[in-house]
Amino acid sequence: MSLTNAEEVTAAFQSSAQPYDREFVPRLSEDILRVIRERKFPKRAEARINFLADSLAGRPNVEPRTSRDICTKERAKERAKSPYKILRKEFYVECSCGYRGPASNDACRDCGAQISYLPEMLLGMGLR
């Protein structure tokens, strides 16, 4: 189906995308038509959906091309993140009970005194 004007875009949404028509048309009909007419509009259905979604994500504040660029950059940031997570953090503590060594569950291994996360402790003030 070849869409030629905004009214046809609105009619297509109302007939084929019933639950979503109120969200997109008629407000974005002109933008949808402009994106569909782009030279680089994909041929495959899933690629078309993603292209249209990325293009309209920033409307009305951002142009479709800029919106696609922003989406691409954000996806690249997500892919660059490490898939791993910190499972355990360890502290080397010097406790007032005399124990010096690694902490166990954020506490002294000998007496069980909890590590304080107060700003004074983090800045190195208050103990001495």
Domain that holds residue 52: 6-80
Same domain, 51 and 19: yes
Same domain, 76 and 100: no
As beta bridge partners, residue 100 has 94
pLDDT at residue 41, as a whole number: 94
Same domain, 53 and 108: no
Q: Which of 89, 17, 101 is nearest to 32 (CA)?
A: 17
Same domain, 50 and 14: yes
- The structural domain count of the chain equals 2
pLDDT at residue 125, as a whole number: 57
pLDDT at residue 45, as a whole number: 93
Does position 128 have pLDDT exceeding 80, yes or no? no
Q: Which of 80, 95, 119 is the last residue of a domain?
A: 80
Look at 62 and 88; give whichever has higher pLDDT: 62
Gap between the Cα atoms of 51 and 45, Å rounded: 10
Please report which confidence band the pLDDT of residue 73 belongs to, taking 50, 70 and 90 as the band edges: very high
Same domain, 75 and 90: no
Same domain, 20 and 73: yes
Same domain, 109 and 73: no
**Six-digit token pair at 22?**
């109120």
Q: Which of 14, 10, 48, 13 is nearest to 29 (CA)?
A: 10
Q: Three-class SS of residue 37?
A: coil
pLDDT at residue 118, as a whole number: 67
Same domain, 73 and 96: no
What residue type is 103 in one-letter code?
A: A
Does position 38 have pLDDT exceeding 80, yes or no? yes
Look at 72 and 21; give whichever has higher pLDDT: 72
- Could you tell me if residue 1 is inside a domain? no
How confident is the model over 69-78, as a mean pLDDT?
A: 96
Question: pTM of whole model > 0.85?
Answer: no
